[in-house]
Chains A and B, each alone.
Chain A
Amino acid sequence: MKFLRIKAIAKKELIQIWRDPLSLALAFMMPVLLLLIFGYAISLDVDNLTTIVYDADRSSTSRELIDELTASGYFSIVRFADSQREIDTYLDTGNARVAISIPMDFAKTVRTGGTAQLQIIVDGSDSNTATIALGYLSALTELYSQRIAGERITPLIEPRVRVWYNPELKSRNFIIPGLIAVIMMVIAALLTSLTFAREWERGTMEQLISTPVKPQELILGKLIPYFLIGFIDMALTVLMAVFLFDVPLRGNVFILGIVSGVFLFGALGLGIIISIVAKSQLVASQISMVATFLPSFLLSGFMFAISNMPVPLQIISRIIPARYFIIVLKGIFLKGNPLRILVMDAIFLLIFGAAVFVVANKKLQKKMV
């Protein structure tokens, strides 16, 4: 391996990148745009649920209950229905997600000490929102019935709840560190998955083969410029997370930098393997989507808890580098973990990077002869 040849290849690649300013601009825009959308537009917190109310009772008691539900902020009433039938239409068209129906004798039953019935229908097609909405509703009505019953008994067992690392349970703090891993995985693959495929398609690969350059030099030379771009992206996203979105960065920035570098090397290497194997840009682009975006988005524990998945998928998730990088990112950002706790995850990323490099070498060697 000669440093000179690596440098020459890296320089050639840099010139080629420089000649395509649109791609370069997109490489920097993508993480910024995605973080902005995730940071500002997306929230898993459930509030302002569109609600339709059918109040057949029209008493002060029923209005009090409705006021209480609205005051919680979780429900925003879009319509007071005139008939039970109207509820169907609103739920069918999706104009409301929750329907609350108060029967005619509600106030009377409550006054006389009977048990009044309250009918609640939620649109279950979005199961997550529905579960959370039902939780809110039963808690609120329970509070209400305790109050009108006039018996404010202290419960026998009082749960004292503490939430660590993210006390206000902000979904932003949860999403953004994980998102950095997903973005980096995708960007890395997008950057490198076309590099070799392009040379094959244009026939310039033959020219490279006829030079004395060795496979590992070629791979490293092509990797270095993209590593620089990827690292700038990484720094950009971390800066945005901390300064724009106020995600706490409690751990060591230096460790974050090193582990990110290791992760990036593996992710870029994976793109290079795809590029060597695919030989055509169209095929490479499709493979890289399946191999990087899907697993890192869905199977990494970024949003969907791994403990919930069926066992075969849990096993698959163990070989997904994004899974380990997300643990490191969340550990350093939110938990302030020291290296001692993260060392196993970092070692896995290191092994992944090394393995990817070896495989890329082997594949290229075979194709070059």
Chain B
Amino acid sequence: MQRTSERIRQMVIKEFIQILRDTRMKAIVFVIPVLQTLVFGFAVTTDVNNVPTAVIDLDKSFESRELIRRFEASGYFNIQVMPGSPAQVQELLDRSTVTVALQINPKFGSDLSRRIPTSIQLLADGTDSNTATVALDYANRIIKKYAQDLAGPSSLSARVDVRQRAWYNPELKSKNYNVPGVIAMVIMLTSLLLTSMAVVREREMGTMEQLMVTPLKPVELILGKTIPFALIAFFDMILITMLGVLLFDIPINGPLLLLPLSTAIYLLSVLGIGLFISTIAKTQQQALMATFLFYMPAVLLSGFMFPIENMPEMFQYATYVNPLRYFLVIIRGIFLKGNGIAILWPPMAALFLLGIGVFALSAFRFRKRLG
């Protein structure tokens, strides 16, 4: 047993020297997680603000100006142009200069001052359906609020008062949702790619034969090949967590200790899949493409950006074999919901079983290919 651990240690050291010999590789291990966290923290927001808007005010009354002011003050709309005629709107929408156009027709003010129901035109570019849906909802609310304010309190008193609260993320910030997810994504991408390509490279260069004539046992070889990447993954996990907490103020509401534990469980599956790819791929090109072929669907079908319950049933079943799915639930539970092991044990157990299965299968295939 002493000898085994010593051999694995030597193999891990060799592996580290090989990976980090290239200074660029050192930088990559550090830069990829930082870059991803920054981009996800800053850029990826599905919050709809500052929608570029055109306003065609054909009325120019007190009422029309008040409505425009309310649109601007809401923060949702950024009025960029005020064309004089409706004809210009077509060009503005065609060129994507604006996403929403608000047209106030003549007589708007005079109708309102005499309390005659009037109308207003809203035009939206539906190309980006998500922004359009949310922006139109905001616009409708602003208009309705204005109409209610004008009509006075008596005529439309809401009889049911809604008390809304959002738990876990009261201000509904996208970054709180995304940054913990980046940990899962970065670990998967780096570990998969490094594992699969490192093994295939050994084979491509013919150095696999050299390793096989050493006293290394297959199990030791597998562990020696995966432990370095697991360590890199842990390093990335800590790096992203620190960035998230220090730079983006992401709360950690749950027990911090669960984070390394669940990462270890997650790595079982990820490294297992990396090994599996390495048993299929003959060249590094194949390994790269196969990794990507697995990685993209895994990210898309994980609930990272798109809710799983919206998917057709068949795809929902497919997500059960996606380790990313479980890890996201766990990691968001720890960060945002403050979940402890009492709540998180089912996804953790599922992830563990999945990991054992995948790793065993890959190790078996790997040994067969060696022999």
Contacts and interface: CB of A to CB of B under 8 A. Distances in A.
B128 A305 contact: yes
B166 to A, nearest CB: 3
Given A27-B289, A33-B297, A285 B193 contact: yes
- Most A CB contacts (10 A, CB to CB) among B167, B201, B205 go to B167
Interface stretch (A128-136, A235-243, A254-262): A128-136
B162 A138 contact: yes
B117 A290 contact: no
- Most B CB contacts (10 A, CB to CB) among A29, A43, A151, A286 go to A286
Interface stretch (A116-124, A214-222, A349-357): A116-124
Interface residues of B, number: 117
A280 B205 CA distance: 12
A8 interface: no
B214 interface: no
A142 to B, nearest CB: 6
Contacts of B126: 163-169, 173-174, 334
Contacts of A167: 126
Interface in B292-339: 292-293, 296-297, 300-301, 305-307, 309-312, 315, 329, 332-333, 336-337, 339
A194 B147 contact: no
A308 interface: yes
Contacts of A310: 42-43
Interface string A267-298: 00000000000101111011101100010001
B91 to A, nearest CB: 8
Interface string A100-139: 0000000000100101111111111111111110110111
Contacts of A113: 159
Contacts of B288: 190, 194, 281, 285
Contacts of B285: 20, 23, 194, 198, 281
Nearest to A94: B329
A313 interface: yes
B194 to A, nearest CB: 7
A27 B289 CA distance: 8
Interface stretch (B171-179, B240-248, B260-268, B348-356): B171-179
B17 interface: no
Contacts of A127: 46-47, 169, 172-174, 176-177
B158 A142 contact: yes
A94 B169 CA distance: 14
Q: For chain A, what secondary structure do more than half of its interface residues adopt (helix, strand, loop), or is it mixed?
A: helix
B96 to A, nearest CB: 6
Interface in A152-193: 153-171, 173-174, 186, 190
Interface in A34-62: 34, 37-38, 40-50
A30 interface: yes
Interface stretch (B3-11, B133-141, B362-370): B133-141
B127 A121 contact: no
A249 interface: no
A141 interface: yes
B212 interface: no
Nearest to A330: B127
Contacts of A139: 137
Closest 9 CB pairs of A and B: A166-B126, A124-B166, A124-B169, A128-B46, A156-B147, A26-B289, A41-B315, A145-B160, A163-B126
Interface of A: 20, 22-23, 26-27, 29-30, 33-34, 37-38, 40-50, 65, 91-94, 110, 113, 115-132, 134-135, 137-139, 141-142, 144-146, 148-149, 151, 153-171, 173-174, 186, 190, 194, 198, 201, 278, 280-283, 285-287, 289-290, 294, 298-299, 303-305, 307-310, 313, 327, 330-331, 334-335, 337, 341
Given A141-B160, A282-B284, 4 more contacts: A27-B289, A110-B160, A118-B162, A122-B166
Interface of B: 19, 22, 24-25, 28, 31-32, 35-36, 39-40, 42-52, 78, 93-96, 112, 115, 117-134, 136-137, 139-140, 143-144, 146-147, 150-151, 155-174, 176-177, 189-190, 193-194, 197-198, 201, 205, 281-286, 288-290, 292-293, 296-297, 300-301, 305-307, 309-312, 315, 329, 332-333, 336-337, 339, 343
6 contacts: A20-B283, A34-B297, A94-B329, A157-B117, A157-B147, A282-B198
